[in-house]
Amino acid sequence: MKKYFKKLLEEGIYANERNGFVASLFGATGFISFYILHLLKKSPLYGEQIRNKIYSATNKTWKPNPGFIYPILKEMRKEKLIEGKWDLSGTHPRHIYEITEKGLGQYARTYEILKIKFKELNYIAKKLDREVFNE
């Protein structure tokens, strides 16, 4: 499998191409909210930084547009999973998001569930990869 992706990257097929499968995985609102909590658990970020980190995490195959991310951030604030404050120190104001105690609790609960689900998904993907692609 690694050889396959390496070949695609070398041929320029995979790099910077929109990947619908990756977008659908990350685009599922439940997972994207979890991933945002994951990012904010590490450090406070503003919206564009969140978008860039998702872009990087998806091997530059999906960068959610602002119309997708900001409503999710707004809903997460409404649910008190994150909070935001304005940073006026730069050249233009930025809304910096931080995870709350409630968000940390939600993250921990979701983490335990998704950890198992991703292991199942990884197992199934590897099994199908061996069966279908003989790798």
Q: Is the pLDDT of residue 28 over 80?
A: no
Tell me the residue type at 79.
Answer: E
| Spatial distance between the Cα atoms of 93 and 98, rounded to a whole number of angstroms | 16
Query: Of the segments 62-71, 72-81, 119-128, which one has the largest average pLDDT value?
Result: 72-81
Please state whether 60 falls in left (phi above 0), alpha (psi between -120 and 50) or beta: left
The predicted-structure confidence for 83-114, as pLDDT tens digits, reads as follows: 999 998 888 899 999 999 999 999 999 999 98
Q: With beta carbons less than 8 A apart as the criterion, state whether 62 and 23 touch.
A: yes
Question: pTM for the full model?
Answer: 0.78
Q: Per-domain residue ranges for the chain?
A: 17-133
Percent of the chain scored above 70 by pLDDT?
78
Enumerate helices (H) and strands (E) in the chain, giving the number of each: 6, 3
Tell me the residue type at 115.
Answer: K
Question: What pLDDT score does 25 carry?
Answer: 64
The CATH number that domain 17-133 falls under is: 1.10.10.10
